[in-house]
Amino acid sequence: MSRLTAENTELALEIIGRYPRPKSALIPLLHLAQEQDGHVTDDAMSHIAELIGVSAAEVLGTASFYEMFKFEPVGRYMVNICTNISCQLMGGEELLEHAEATLGIRPGQTTADGLFTIEDVECIAACTEAPCLQVNYRYFHRITNAEFDQLVDELRSGARTDIPPHGTLATVRQRIPADRRAGVVTPENTAHPVWLASSQEAQS
Amino acid sequence: MSTTDVPRIITSRFEFDDSHTLARYEATGGYEALRKAISMAPAAVADEVKSASLLGRGGAGFPAGVKWGLAPAEVWPRYLVVNGDESEPGTYKDRLLMERDPHQLIEGVLLACYAIGCGQAFLYVRGEMALAQERIAAALNDAYAAGYIGRNILGSEFSVDIVLSWGAGAYIVGEETALIESLEGNRGMPRLKPPFFPAAKGLYMQPTIVNNVETLSNLPWIVRNGGEAFAALGAETSRGTRMFAVSGHVKNPGVFEVEYGVTTFRDLIFSPEYAGGIRDDNAIKAFIPGGASAPWFFEEHLDLPLEKVTIDRAGSMLGSGAIVVMDETTDAVKACLRVVRFFARESCGKCTPCREGTTWLEKILQRILDGYGRPSDLALLLDVCDNISPGIAWPPKQTTICPLGPSAVSPISSALERFRPEFEARITQAEQTRISVPVAFPKAVTHA
């Protein structure tokens, strides 16, 4: 399996450079690895460990805490159906059952063609739009069974080009231009903020 | 109740399709507050926020101005951390603010950094919110290019970098010390307070102010219009306006910005300009007033104003502004189980009463729902609750580091107190129909 590509390694170094401590970049780098491969591979975790100067076990230790990181291949489309209270009241569990029947899989499983994984997820902050779901973390509000079927058809046929494969979150990355950058403030940098200092001088 | 003369403070741009762009933001007063602030002394900006009496909008409702003042004097550096990890069930407001008006949030972050003296801020967005991350990334890039963020902002001595970071799926990270752990690249487990109050020992053990997205989104308006104008709105102990999400069995579920402390639950749930009443004109059975962690309210609470002190005294909380309405057709056992199951799944596992307790609460409720309940189960539920939160009182005591465990007690104490016969009926019915050997494994709510 794969380490980060040269391009992603460069990006990883840029991200690490934004934090006072390299380990703070760990979760963003795990997302980068998942974006590259669709899931987080052992090799990628070893590579990340090298980049931020911790052991591979520490990387796995953090990664395994978080629901979104997958350590085995999942479907190209991760379908997360909310069944928490607001969605449950409005038919989220029935929607999940319908999705299971339509795709022939249970939550946590992937269809044989590798296209779909279903998850039964906790509240995703679309409570007034229940029942709701996400496909690769893109929202679909007030979904009926018929709309679910249509969505599955569109995803299968490749018509939904607006939804990138699993692993890709934001399609815009933060870029801090070198000429505008204020710079990392490490805990060792105990200097009084200059704008506070001059304000105090002006007052005294 | 009149709503027409109350300004919309934080949702004023939502009506525009391009509300997330720098062009729209600048055309509607955007970054004026920043210009005004850097012509003022940082302490004067902090005073403006203090005089606004802005309560934190994340759940605990702690005054923002007071929180800023808790950072020990002359200990540098200080950090600002933005809590955009909205995930309390029923809560839907911070995502809207991040997706629809990211510049307003960014300007709020800048104002806070200027006032507190932070040279670097971390904006932590929930992992599952791809569009919010995207909109904020684009907004940050545009604001850097325009000179609003970075070195010598608008030609002043004020310099700050705002770093966009995001989570990866863990409710507990919304707790401020767990969020800091996550930002340090660790498992998101809360720290013990004391000694680890973030304002004293937070990110990298430095003084750190953690503020919620909605809280910070109020700052541009406050600085532009003055803290007094903000404090003129709302009730004495709950100033300004606030966003409330009304979900569940209502005709017109939605997110509404209303004057804080004045509007009542009945207004929000029944008024045609808000949620418009219960679906099919059914009777209301119960409602959650402030997110899944809050004890439930009932019909007799409808006329209470959405005001912090009143609601605290009435035995619940406004929490994160999440009102979940259940009509008379709701199965109390099922609803209770669903909320408890959430806490069982999201317990980080650090404290035994929560890790073990929430898991057992879920198992017991599940077997009651599945028809395998025992007559002793209701007492057992309360006993487990008492071990997590001694006395099962409000506000809750806790045997745990953070309030997640006690939160799982709220739905059980509420539902059992009010709907005990429903639980008993499930158990009695189960006794009558129980067969010695289950023919199939009882159908359980599936776990991912």
pLDDT of residue B91: 97
**Is A187 inside a domain boundary?**
no
Contact list in A for residue B168 (CB cut-off 8 A) is: 27, 30-31, 63, 66-69
Q: Measured between alpha carbons, how far is residue B320 from residues A84, A163, B5, B442 in Å?
A: 16, 30, 25, 35
pLDDT of residue A84: 97
Distance CA B311, CA B391 (A): 20
**Is A132 inside a domain boundary?**
yes
| Amino acid letter, B330 | T
Q: Cβ separation of B157 and A66 shorter than 8 Å?
A: no
Q: Please state, as a whole number, how many other Cβ atoms lie within 10 Å of the Cβ of residue B23.
A: 10
List of domains in chain B: 22-231 (3.40.50.11540), 237-319 (3.10.20.600), 332-433 (1.20.1440.230)
Q: Could you tell me the two tokens for A42?
A: 């052992």
Residues A42 and A86 in one domain: no
Q: How many domains does chain A have?
A: 2
For B289-315, the pLDDT digits (tens) are 999 999 999 999 999 999 999 999 999
**Is A52 inside a domain boundary?**
yes
Q: Is B90 left (phi over 0), alpha (psi -120 to 50) or beta?
A: left
Residue range A134-138: mean pLDDT, rounded: 98
Do A188 and A99 meet the contact criterion of CB atoms below 8 Å apart?
Answer: no
Residue range A42-52: mean pLDDT, rounded: 98
State the smallest CA–CA distance between residue A97 and chain B in angstroms: 10
Distance CA A165, CA B150 (A): 33
Residues A104 and A148 in one domain: yes
pLDDT of residue B432: 66
For B52-95, the pLDDT digits (tens) are 999 999 888 899 989 999 999 999 999 999 999 999 999 999 99
Strand order of the β-sheet with B254-259 is B254-259, B241-248, B322-327, B284-288
**Is A183 inside a domain boundary?**
no
Q: How confident is the model at residue A202 (pLDDT cuts 50, 70, 90)?
A: low
Distance CA A78, CA A194 (A): 48
Q: Could you tell me the two tokens for B20?
A: 């997330």
Q: Could you tell me the two tokens for B442?
A: 């009882």
Residues A81 and A153 in one domain: yes
CATH code for the domain of A85: 3.40.30.10
Distance CA A203, CA A58 (A): 49
pLDDT of residue B237: 87
Using CB atoms, pick whichever of B133, B186, B339 lies closest to residue A85.
Answer: B339
Grouping H, G, I as helix, E, B as strand and the rest as coil, residue B191 is: coil
Q: Cβ separation of B448 and A120 shorter than 8 Å?
A: yes
Burial grade of B74 (CB within 10 A; 0-12, 13-18, 19 or more): exposed
Residues A97 and A141 in one domain: yes
**Is A1 inside a domain boundary?**
no
CATH code for the domain of A11: 1.10.10.1590
> Rg for chain A (alpha carbons), in Å?
21
Q: Is ipTM beyond 0.95?
A: yes
> Is some CB atom of chain A closer than 8 A to the CB atom of B154?
no
Residue of A nearest to B189 (CA): A65
Residues A150 and A108 in one domain: yes
State the smallest CA–CA distance between residue B275 and chain A in angstroms: 10
Residues A84 and A145 in one domain: yes
**Is A93 inside a domain boundary?**
yes
Exposure string for B382-419, b = 16+ CB within 10 A, e = fewer: eebbbbbbeebebebebbbbbbbbbbbbbbbbbbbeeb
pLDDT of residue A156: 97
Do B170 and A67 meet the contact criterion of CB atoms below 8 Å apart?
Answer: yes
Do B91 and B320 meet the contact criterion of CB atoms below 8 Å apart?
Answer: yes
How distant is the alpha carbon of residue B404 from its chain centre? 13
Residues A42 and A13 in one domain: yes
Residues A126 and A81 in one domain: yes
Residues A11 and A33 in one domain: yes
Q: Which domain holds residue A54?
A: 6-63
State the smallest CA–CA distance between residue B383 and chain A in angstroms: 24
**Is A189 inside a domain boundary?**
no
- Which of these three, A63, A92, A111, is where a domain ends? A63
Beta-carbon pairs below 8 A across chains A and B: 261
Average pLDDT per block of 10 residues along chain B, 448 residues long = 68 97 98 98 96 91 91 96 97 98 98 98 98 98 98 97 97 97 98 95 98 98 97 92 97 96 96 97 98 97 95 95 97 97 97 97 95 94 97 95 96 96 90 54 48
Length of chain B: 448
- Which of these three, A133, A157, A181, is where a domain ends? A157
For A156-185, the pLDDT digits (tens) are 999 999 999 999 999 999 999 999 999 999
Residues A88 and A34 in one domain: no
**Is A134 inside a domain boundary?**
yes
Residues A122 and A83 in one domain: yes
